[in-house]
Chains A and B, each alone.
Chain A
Amino acid sequence: MSTILEKVKQAIIDGDEDAAQAHAGEALQQGVSPLAVVKEAIVPGIERTGELWKENVYFMPDVVLSTEAFKAAMNAVAPELAAIKTDSRGRYLMGVVAGDMHDLGKNIVAAMLTGAGFEVIDLGVDVPTPTFIEKARELTPDIIGIGCYMTTTMLELREVMRGLSENGLRDRLKVMVGGVPTTQSFADEVGADAWGKDALDAVEKARALMEK
């Protein structure tokens, strides 16, 4: 790997968003293709962060800072990347249900999924059920990921599931659920295809769903 790509990767691992953005821009100026910056530096950087987290070397603060650095590096290459047709592992629509403003976990999942090659469309937090339905119809995602982080907003998730069914969308896509109060049991209850225990687990389950 070239020195500049190594710097991009290391900045992401270190959670240094300023350096990640600057080095990614520098790589482009040096003539490295945006795709190479993503595949050889940005993605390996966030993947290494995930590994360190699994090994109990990294904890939440490290992961959050790496995620921010990942986003900064992606922003640096995004304009040039947009001009190139890239292969996507699948389209993933995601959001947090109405009444729920928690976005920390959702943002980490979005970064990890992007790193894993998914085209991620993030609807943000406090997403009303009709918006989930409308966007699912309009954007035809392969997977829809629904997050909830409070025990009361878990109940809202049932409404989204009902809306998908009533609008004839449920059989056209896979549904994943996640968030602090959720469990596999809850995912089974609401009829989801998979439960993401955490960000890395969500990526593994999303990959598996795409292979089905």
Chain B
Amino acid sequence: MGIRGMIIRSSLPLLIRLNTMRTGSGPSLLTPKVRKGVQLDPSDPRTWWMVGASAAKHPIPVMAQMYDHAMFLSGVPAQQFYSDAAIHINAIAAVSAYYGLDAATGGGDTYNYEAEALGQKMIHSDHAMPDIDSREPLIRETGDLKKVKVPEWERAARIPFILEVIRMNAEMGFATGKFSAPFSLAVSLRTYPKLIKDLRRDPGFAHDLLTFLVDEVLTSYLKVQKKYCGIKAATGADAWAVFPNLTPELTEQWVVPYAERLFKRCTDFGLITMAAGGGGDYCEERIEKFDKQILHRCFAIQQKLLLNTPMLILGMGRWHEYPLEPVAEYLKKYQDKGIRASIMANLNARLLRDGPPERIIAAVKRFIKVLGTFHNLAIVLANIPADTPPRHIHAAVAATRACSRLAPGADPDEVGVTVPERESFQEYIDTMSGGRGLPGR
């Protein structure tokens, strides 16, 4: 371990705490510091978002994962959206500005870049995000692992695209890299059923695979990201590691150790990694199976992946239906010490698509009422489905704004929320661009 790595590791909890205190709201490490002093440029949608977002200071920020939705709304063909960084970022920035979001970050199909660069077969279609061809896994047999070579990252497959996207994100204020966390990357190369069999019947191979992915693949890839994009931290997406795709026991055994291993490897060259985008995320689909004990075990895992900071991610599950009291109960350990935890509270993708706006507004109010009075909250619009009606997103944003500055003791349920009657996205683009349309389209 280098001296630099030792310093970063030992001072990390303090750095995060200071950062939380400084921003005063929202999960600070994951909330962008919007670039200020930017002039509005009709030909650059990034400025449309930056000018608006830098002027606003919302106690409860609203962020979104919305690649498919941005692509759909802006009418950019999938093959272009997922391979042309400028068009990708322009579409994301324009849609983020239209909705008045507090973050605008490109990224795309996070799970695919490394796998594709390693040689995994993909399918690219005109209308959908690129997808791993699970019929032809790169590591079909265990012996195939030896054949996998670390590519020259700067030139491999769509890595130049995602590097440029991350660099442009950093220019807008979000200097955080992105990667596929080790477990999900292993699934991409091996398929889920095969990897699950490996965990049970050939754990030695599973360890070899995950060790290779951390030590050889991700470490070298993240070094390149740091060099090219100027990032100081990177977050790993790990949707295959959510509960119940993995049990808490399997997550402890197969996800946490490799996240920690990657963290140690990367701090040696000055990069903080958090492979927390999935592991320990409670996503039970059947509400009658909701289990507080499992939820709390998931939270405990998540906190390890979040470097033991006072943060929680209420991710892709049915949080508009789960009881929220068990979340407050879990966070009481912080509240009792006067520590405000940072919570990324996701509005479920299917809720956002199906609506109606009243139901979305009610979900926002419930988050704020139960969790937002003491803790720092950020509302996240989870993976907005492609054809989600924009009015539903406006409703989520309006509800958050209306309820985010309440007097102590005030009840969000008493707050009236009016969904603004907005122009269409196309009309917005025409106005902002002076009739020239979305650049690159």
Contacts and interface: CB of A to CB of B under 8 A. Distances in A.
Interface of A: 15, 54, 56, 59-61, 64-65, 67-68, 98-104, 107, 124-126, 150-156, 181, 183, 185-186, 197-198
Contact of B247 (A61, A65, A153, A181): A61
Nearest to A185: B354
Interface string B231-252: 0000000000001111100100
Nearest to B387: A155
A152 B246 contact: no
A65 B354 contact: no
A153 B244 contact: no
B200 interface: yes
Contact of B385 (A64, A107, A156, A181): A181
Contacts of B294: 56
A175 B128 CA distance: 23
Contacts of A56: 289, 291, 294
A155 B387 CA distance: 8
B370 interface: no
B207 interface: no
Interface stretch (B15-23, B27-35, B190-198, B325-333): B190-198
Interface stretch (B131-139, B213-221, B393-401): B131-139
Contacts of B200: 15, 61, 65
Given A126-B123, A198-B286, A101 B250 contact: no
B386 A151 contact: yes
Contact of A151 (B126, B135, B243, B383): B383
Given A61-B245, A124-B135, 19 more contacts: A59-B247, A60-B246, A61-B196, A61-B246, A64-B196, A68-B193, A99-B126, A99-B127, A99-B131, A101-B132, A102-B131, A150-B131, A151-B349, A151-B383, A151-B386, A151-B387, A181-B349, A183-B354, A198-B286
A16 B394 CA distance: 50
12 contacts: A56-B294, A61-B245, A61-B246, A64-B196, A99-B126, A100-B128, A150-B68, A151-B68, A151-B383, A155-B386, A181-B349, A198-B286
B81 to A, nearest CB: 10
B274 to A, nearest CB: 24
Contacts of B123: 99, 101, 126
Contacts of B385: 151, 154, 181
B285 A197 contact: yes
Contact of A59 (B132, B193, B244): B244
B353 interface: yes
The 6 closest A-B pairs by CB, nearest first: A151-B385, A99-B125, A152-B128, A99-B128, A185-B354, A59-B244
B441 interface: no
Contact of A68 (B78, B197, B245): B197
B290 to A, nearest CB: 9
Contacts, number: 101
A152 B244 CA distance: 24
Contact of B285 (A100, A101, A181, A198): A198
B48 interface: no
Contacts of A185: 353-354
A138 to B, nearest CB: 23
B196 A65 contact: yes
Contacts of B197: 65, 68
Given A60-B245, A154-B386, A197-B285, A101 B353 contact: no
Contacts of A67: 193
B161 interface: no
A61 B250 contact: yes
Nearest to A151: B385
Contacts of A65: 193, 196-197, 200
A153 B71 CA distance: 13
Contacts of A151: 68-69, 349, 353, 383-387
Contacts of A102: 131, 134
A90 B415 CA distance: 53
A59 B289 CA distance: 11
B78 A152 contact: yes
A185 B348 CA distance: 15
A107 B194 CA distance: 14
A101 B125 CA distance: 11
Contacts of A153: 127-128
A78 B353 CA distance: 43
A125 B132 CA distance: 12
B296 to A, nearest CB: 15
A136 to B, nearest CB: 22
Residue among A99, A100, A156 with max Cβ neighbours from chain B (10 Å): A99
Nearest to A17: B197
B128 A104 contact: no
A76 B100 CA distance: 59
Contacts of A155: 127, 386-387
